A = this chain, B = another copy of it.
Amino acid sequence: MPAGETGKYEQQRHAAIRAAASVFAEKGFHGSSTRDIAERMGIKQGSLYYYFKSKEEALSEVCLYGMQDYAGRMVSIAASEQPFRAKLTATITSHITKYREKNEALKVYNAERLYLDESKRTRLHELGSGYRQQLEGIFVEGQKSGEVRADVDCRFASHAVIGICNSWGEQIVRDPDMDIYEIIDNSVGLILNGFSNNKHTN
């Protein structure tokens, strides 16, 4: 057992996670068989158990993988020195772009996590809500700096942003030709200004 983190075993395990992500994304957790996963990886069904204790562990790893840098990137955005508007744009861009980049693992996380047992799901949920909390923090900061109205409920705001992004995420995954940047602009616009014609209202 060499100390190098890229021993053959580690490499193969990673390949297994990617194979599982790919198959789960395509057929869903219950629609995929361990044989499918092994085949995509180029090994035999039984050999898969060298890398996963169970099919559920495979799902768990995929979800973790899908969630990880999704959450990680949020941390660096929140920590950066930028005005509110820039952080918001960065967040939305990061979130929506993800559906193109590593959509498989992420898609699996979104669609199949309910098949994990309580404890694993909770662990992932914490990572995910860490994500939301970071976003909420950005709104709070925005209020302090005066960029966000004082009466805004920041928790609500963070949920809303995520909801909008996810809703479009589904469309994006379905249609690979969709113009992502237009969606991002529109989303930022909505969050900042809503749709109402204030001149009219006033």
Contact = CB atoms under 8 A, between A and B. Distances in A.
A197 B151 CA distance: 10
Nearest to A159: B167
A192 B191 contact: no
Interface stretch (A9-17, A23-31, A98-106): A23-31
A167 B168 contact: no
A190 B163 CA distance: 13
A183 B156 contact: yes
B168 A159 contact: yes
| Main DSSP-derived SS at the A contact region | helix
B192 A149 contact: no
Interface residues of A, number: 45
A200 B147 contact: yes
A159 B148 CA distance: 24
Given A192-B195, A196-B193, A159 B171 contact: yes
A13 to B, nearest CB: 19
Interface string A171-202: 10000000000110011011111111110110
